[in-house]
A and B are shown apart, each in its own frame.
Chain A
C-alpha cells in the first residue's frame, strides 16, 4: 500500500465530511432544539477533546496542569488565541526546569 493512497483517503474523507452538509444544506433551520444542538456542539467537541487529554500532553502531569491553569486564566481575560496557546506551553516548559 503506497503512502500516496493513505494520504488520498485521508484528504478525500476529510473533505467530504466538510463539504456535503455545507454545500447541500440550504434551508433555514426553524427547530429551536436543532438550533441549540448546532450552537452547542462545537464547544462540546473541543471541551471533550481537551479534558482530560491536556493533562497528558507534555508527558508530565505537573507541567501540563500548570500550563492548563495558565491557559484557563488568560482565556478568562479574553487574551488572543496565540497568546493563550504559547503562554500555556512556555509555563509548562518553565515548570519543567524548576522541577
Chain B
C-alpha cells in the first residue's frame, strides 16, 4: 500500500521523464504487477497526453496568422506609443502651466470683461449698431413726412415768388436806358436759375394741390422765359413791351397776394 502511494506520487515524474534510471525501472516493474497503479498511470497519461495535444491546437491557430505583417504592426505600435509618451516641449509646458485649471475663473472673468467691453464700445461709440448715428434718418410716419414736405414746398414757393418779385421789380423800375445793362448779365441768369427752380416747384405744387400758386408761378415762368431768351441787344421798345406785359398781367400784385395767402396757409 505504501509502495503504491509512492509509485503513484512518482507517476507524473515518470511520465515526464524526470525520474532517474533506477527509479524509473522500479516504477515500470510495479506497474506491470499492480492493476490499481496501472490504472492510475493510464489516467495521468491521459491528462498529460491531452495537455500535450493542446500544443497541436495552438499550431493550427498559428497557421491562420500572418506572421510577416505582425512585426510591422508591432513596430508601428512601438512608434505610436513612443510618440504619445514623448516629453513635452518647453512651449507646451509653458502653455500647460498658463492654462492650469485653477486659473480658469480668472480667464473666464477676463474673457467676460472683454466681451462686455466690446459690446459697450459698439453700443456707445460706434454709430449705427444700437445707437442712431447723428444725421441718420429717423423713423417718421408718412403723415409727418407729408407735412414736412408741404411746409418745405411752401417755403420754396415763397422764396421763388420773392426772388421773382425782386427780379421783376428790378426790371420794370429800371430806366429804359439802363435796363439793357442790367439785363446784360444779372436778370437773364437769375431768370434761368428761377426757371430751373420752377421745374422742382411744379412737382411740389401739383402734389399739394396748390393750383392758384401754380397758375401764378406759370405766368412768372412765362415772363422769365421771355427774359432769358431775349437777345442782349434789347431795344427800348422791347423792354417797354415786357414792362407793359407785367403791368397788364398785374404780376407783382398777384405775387404779393399769393405770398400772403401762402404765409397764411390758405392755398
Do A and B pair up? The answer is: no
**A residues engaging B (CB < 8 A)?**
none
**B residues engaging A (CB < 8 A)?**
none
